[in-house]
């Protein structure tokens, strides 16, 4: 399912365009949710950095975008927060981190309900299906406990601070190594979990994605 999108460009430019739209929607919703919740919890940093926006350009990360295009999963530019602005830094940081994946799940559920109960054309159904799929990919992939992914913030609650700081320093190297050398196994796991959630929200089995 997470086939290389460049192959889609060669075989079908329209399908490739739909993939790009789906990815940009998924990534933008994810990063905007981080910024919005941080702002609501009292930290204006994301807003001052121009991240409280639905403009996808503000949320693109070089490496994350490249891997989205060639591997089918990746990440956006991390939203920077200042924990000193939070009333409860530990839990507010966690809330901000979870906001991204949960926003992807919420959007997938809403679009899944549309596919189930609203008659739409074939092109719209195709677009909604792919948007759902990639929202679920974003959700699952970002739960990996590796910085800068959101799952690392959950891991930080259970390991010593010094250990987490070391993990932060090497997180991107670990992540890139995982994507380069273990992408097959990672794709297998992510696809199985995504397939479960996809069937749950749409009532369909993902075929040909």
Q: Taking a C-beta distance cutoff of 8 angstroms, is the pair 34, 97 a contact?
A: yes
What dihedral angle (degrees, nearest 10) is formed by the CA atoms of 195, 150, 32, 22? -30
> Which entry of 2, 31, 81, 209 is annotated as an active-site residue?
31
Residue 87 DSSP label: S
Tell me, yes or no, if 161 is annotated catalytic: no
Residue ranges of alpha helices (H) inside the chain are 5-11, 13-40, 45-48, 62-71, 89-117, 122-142, 151-155, 161-181, 183-202
For residue 32, which of 86, 104, 89 has the smallest C-alpha distance? 104
Active site (catalytic) residues: 31
């Amino acid at each position: 399912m997470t086939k290389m999108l460049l192959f889609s460009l060669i075989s079908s430019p329209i399908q490739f365009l739909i993939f790009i739209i789906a990815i940009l929607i998924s990534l933008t919703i994810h990063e905007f949710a981080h910024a919005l919740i941080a702002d609501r919890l009292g930290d204006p940093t994301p807003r001052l950095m121009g991240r409280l926006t639905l403009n996808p350009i503000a949320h693109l990360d070089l490496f994350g975008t490249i891997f989205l295009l060639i591997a089918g999963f990746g990440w956006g530019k991390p939203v920077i927060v200042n924990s000193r602005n939070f009333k409860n830094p530990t839990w507010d940081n966690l809330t901000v981190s979870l906001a991204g994946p949960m926003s992807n799940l919420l959007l997938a559920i809403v679009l899944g309900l549309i596919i189930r109960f609203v008659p739409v054309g074939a092109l719209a159904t195709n677009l909604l299906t792919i948007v759902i799929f990639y929202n679920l990919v974003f959700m699952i992939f970002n739960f990996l406990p590796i910085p800068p992914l959101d799952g690392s913030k959950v891991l930080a609650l259970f390991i010593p601070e010094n250990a987490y700081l070391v993990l932060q320093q090497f997180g991107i190297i670990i992540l890139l190594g995982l994507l380069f050398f273990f992408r097959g196994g990672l794709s297998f796991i992510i696809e199985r979990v995504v397939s479960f959630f996809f069937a749950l929200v749409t009532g369909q089995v993902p075929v040909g994605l």
